[in-house]
Amino acid sequence: MIDSQVLSKINSWKVGNNLNFCLGADVGGSGIRFCLTNANDQNDKIEPGHIKVKSAQEFMNAFDNLHQAIQSVAKGAKCVGSSIACAGLRKEDTVQVMNWNGPAENQTIRISKINQNLFPKSHSLVLNDLEAGAYGVIALGESGKANEYFQKLWGPKGGSLLSKYYHTAVMAMGSGLGSALIIKEPETHANVVMPTESGYLMSSSRGMEHPNYNKEIGTLEFISDRYFDGQLNPPYEDLASGHGIVDDYDALIHGKSGLDAGQIAEMAKKGDLNAKTAMKNHYIFFTRLAKQLAYGTNCRSIVMALSNQVANKWLIDEILPELEAEFKDATAWRWIREVSVYSQVKECNVNMVGTTYVAHYCANHKI
């Protein structure tokens, strides 16, 4: 249920006879969050709260119900720009939200069927979740708020969260592992976001003479046997993510624990050795992917974002020397020293910041 009293603030946004607003939405495995903003001031916002959504039909209903609730308190209010972040596979007129259970039709949103009162034609966009996160990083950088939410873990003196002349990679672990690239256009220095599927890159191990080789190869072989009949190295997402933590833990105990990521994280905080080692290992693999992204895309800034970074700050601080050593232990080590790595340290829905930023762009441009 959407609280009409919360929405009633929208009436203060009226200018003359017009009441225009923009809409951002962040879709996750358990539901959707909306953020309405004044079309003339994106810092003036209304957030109705979390709405449970676990299917495409419930998603459509949430938009219909929000439209009705808005009109009940501010008749004639008009959405002039909209953006939705979804963790899913985008193809033409559809996006498939893989975190929802059931058959494909239960997971598949038809973009053209979204209520156009809140998703206006030619002034709206559906984004990949980390694509939205990258726009959120851009928005925080442009507003001067980046230092409030992100902390440099290591890197050369100076620099900034959003690289001034080079590309920036944004990475995040949730139930899976996502990443997006902020490409710096060489002539205008404008930022262009490209979503990637880097979490599916096949992992790599240390060389046989490295002291950690036997431990690492044991983890990789265990997870490869679990998912790929031992024929492929697992992708980084199976090593560094919510389900990756479970895989890492199960590899250490050589069996199926039945635990989830939250339970393992709680055990690690209480000092359980296997749980803490699994958490550390999943950050080592996350950092290894960050190193590969830096090389492969010529980034000078890596941003590790979203709430898991904040929740796990206690561990990141503790193992920071090991993470930095992993990142800098590379063939072209002189080059990698020029890359700055940042981590989110304060709660902020960066995806929602990004959808709001893009919604205002959509309001002022024909898409």
Least confident span in 96-100, 134-138, 224-228: 96-100
Distance CA 286, CA 284 (A): 5
Segment 261-278 shows an average pLDDT of 97
Copy the structure tokens of residue 350.
């960066």
Q: Which CATH number fits domain 129-350: 3.40.1260.10, 3.40.50.720, 3.40.367.20, 3.40.50.620?
A: 3.40.367.20
Distance CA 201, CA 292 (A): 10
* pLDDT number for residue 2: 83
Distance CA 336, CA 356 (A): 34
CATH class assigned to 4-121: alpha beta
Assess whether pLDDT exceeds 90 at residue 361. yes
Quick count: other Cβ atoms within 10 Å of Cβ 238? 25
Numbered ranges of CATH 3.40.367.20 in the chain: 129-350
Q: Quote the pTM value.
A: 0.94
Distance CA 240, CA 237 (A): 5
Copy the structure tokens of residue 248.
């890492």
Assess whether pLDDT exceeds 90 at residue 159. no
pLDDT band of 30, cuts 50, 70, 90: confident
Assess whether pLDDT exceeds 80 at residue 29. no
Distance CA 354, CA 286 (A): 23
Least confident span in 117-126, 152-161, 352-361: 152-161
Distance CA 358, CA 354 (A): 6
Assess whether pLDDT exceeds 80 at residue 292. yes
Numbered ranges of CATH 3.30.420.40 in the chain: 4-121
* pLDDT number for residue 125: 97
Distance CA 339, CA 155 (A): 6
Please state whether beta strands 340-344 and 299-305 pair in parallel, antiparallel, or not at all (unpaired).
Answer: parallel
223-255 pLDDT per residue, tens: 999 999 999 999 999 999 999 999 999 999 999
